[in-house]
Amino acid sequence: MHLGKAVRLRGPDYCFAEDDLYTAHFSGQDSREIEKIFFGQIDSNGKRAVECFNDFTHPFPSAAHDLFNPMLLYMSTQKLRTPKGLGWLKNKLGTDDKNVLLGAMIDIRNLHCAIWTECVWQIADTQDSTTKFIISDHPITIYNRELGPRAPECRGDNDPDIWLQGAHTIFPLSLEKVLILTNLSWVRNPYQPAKDLRPNPEPMRSAIFKFTEIQIQRHLTEEEVRQINFIILSRAKQFVGAAEEDWVFPERYVSKSQWNTYGHGYLLMPDPRPLSLGGTIMWGGGPGPGGAMDEYGRRPWDAGFENPNTARLESSTLYRFKGEFAKLFGPYRRGRSGDFGGFQMDPEKDDDEMHNVHLSYLPKSYKERRTIRRAKYKSAKSEE
């Protein structure tokens, strides 16, 4: 018996292309119009969008406004158009009819756009790591720390759903930069079950995005890059590619059994310290009708709009998480967003006063709570 090499030097046409994948059949004739016309425009605009976000800075470039929707459409289509994506669609629709699958793919090409719009965006880089990112034949990778590679929900062509609370979307923009999208509800409360549905999980709707909240300048360590590469490898269908052979084997350095504890469980988390509560946006005063939408895409007539119970819970958990993050990673920020309208960035490092403020959000021990209560009692008695 002759065993083939595990790693071969191949071009992208061999590993990341499949003949007639998008060829439709009508009356005995083959049609490649989907690939030429439909994907042609998406890929052309997507290339410019990826290049723009790969170089994204604060203050953000004006081109980002024009390329945001093409970026989302490119990513959403990329997730659906791969052999793994079409396999997922086949299982959902229960049909092998290629024409039906291709038609459905076109119809739901915006499936992921609204939820990704409401995510916290982070662009991380590998400037502190000699290992760079790998790519796979399913380039949009979803990670959920409660859904490892052996989970039933991830077998075959399945991925964790992006409308689950703990979903992170990973998309390498280049060898050295990666886009990570995380549900806002998960950043505000990472203490809830990661497999629960996020608020307003309905995907086919409108949403609003704030460019100033994109976090940049997170410099990943070698270990973190390898962990991300292992996640990408685990979600691939068949092929992965890299500029160096060693990068294709992240499992040499990363344990699958630690899937839920990478980075203390926060490997892909944006820094919560720049985040605030609320987020409802209102508009009106012009010739058209006014309106409002909260940070989860709910309108005033939708259930859960500006839910006070959710607001109270997230107020508690977000500040607790800020304290935990400060304790775990120190005063240096793991990502910097735009401040003052995006014309400057959050500080690279919190000063001692702000760092201590964040640490003060940590839950107190019973002894500390008792001391605080006694101090408040003495203060109240002295004022009488």
The secondary structure of 42-80 as a DSSP string is HHHHHHHHHHHHHT--SSPPTHHHHHHHHHHHHHHHHHH
How much is the pLDDT for 103?
86
Q: Is the dihedral of CA 181, 187, 190, 192 positive or negative?
A: negative
Among candidate residues 118, 128, 121, 68, the one with its CA nearest the CA of residue 274? 121
How much is the pLDDT for 312?
93
Which helix (H) or strand (E) segment holds residue 367: the answer is helix 366-383
How much is the pLDDT for 321?
97
- Could you tell me if 222 and 131 are in contact, meaning their C-beta atoms sit under 8 angstroms apart? yes
How much is the pLDDT for 343?
79
Of the CA atoms within 13 Å of residue 237, those in its CB half-sphere come to 20
- As given in the structure block, the two tokens for residue 105 are 């793919």
Cα–Cα distance measured from residue 203 to residue 212, given in angstroms and rounded to the nearest whole number: 23
| Exposure string for 348-368, b = 16+ CB within 10 A, e = fewer | eebeeeebebbeebbeeeeee
Cα–Cα distance measured from residue 10 to residue 204, given in angstroms and rounded to the nearest whole number: 38
Residue 98: CB partners within 8 Å, gap ≥ 6?
23, 24, 25
Residues of the chain with pLDDT under 70: 1-37, 341-342, 365-384
Cα–Cα distance measured from residue 145 to residue 265, given in angstroms and rounded to the nearest whole number: 7
How much is the pLDDT for 366?
59
How much is the pLDDT for 102?
84
Coil, strand or helix at 356: helix
Q: What is the pTM of this model?
A: 0.88
How much is the pLDDT for 15?
46
